[in-house]
Amino acid sequence: VQLQASGGGLVQPGGSLRLSCAASGRILRIDDMGWYRQAPGKQRELVASITRGGRTNYADSVKGRFTVSRDNGLNTVYLQMNSLKPEDTAVYYCNARVLEIGASYSMNYWGQGTLVTVSS
């Protein structure tokens, strides 16, 4: 299973970006999907997650500004980021818990990371 993230870049404070992450491989089912981020010198933290049924969870720091969504048919998770702040600057990683075809249990997979820089 591979997760391919895209959509990062440089944006001014107050701007918007949309991240996408598509999973591919021998996928039977994807359970939770989400986004984490890691800023320089800091630990990786959860940004937002979404269950297969669409229930969402957000870090307090992004509530009201970020929206996580998914397309189960495309095995893709999205993160719409609005009103971006300099403190949102980080490498963003997508995550998915995947049950592969033929497997007995789900496993956690990570994307390669995409850099988001918020700066004027």
Residue range 60-111, pLDDT digits in tens: 999 999 999 999 999 999 999 999 999 999 999 999 999 999 999 999 999 9
Distance CA 5, CA 20 (A): 6
> What pLDDT is stored for residue 30 in this prediction?
97
Only one residue has tokens 């940004």, namely 47
- Name the CA dihedral angle for 56, 84, 20, 31, rounded to a multiple of 10 degrees: -20
Q: How many CA atoms lie within 13 A of 7 on its CB side?
A: 20
> What pLDDT is stored for residue 104 in this prediction?
95
Which whole number is the average pLDDT over 40-53? 96
> What pLDDT is stored for residue 86 in this prediction?
97
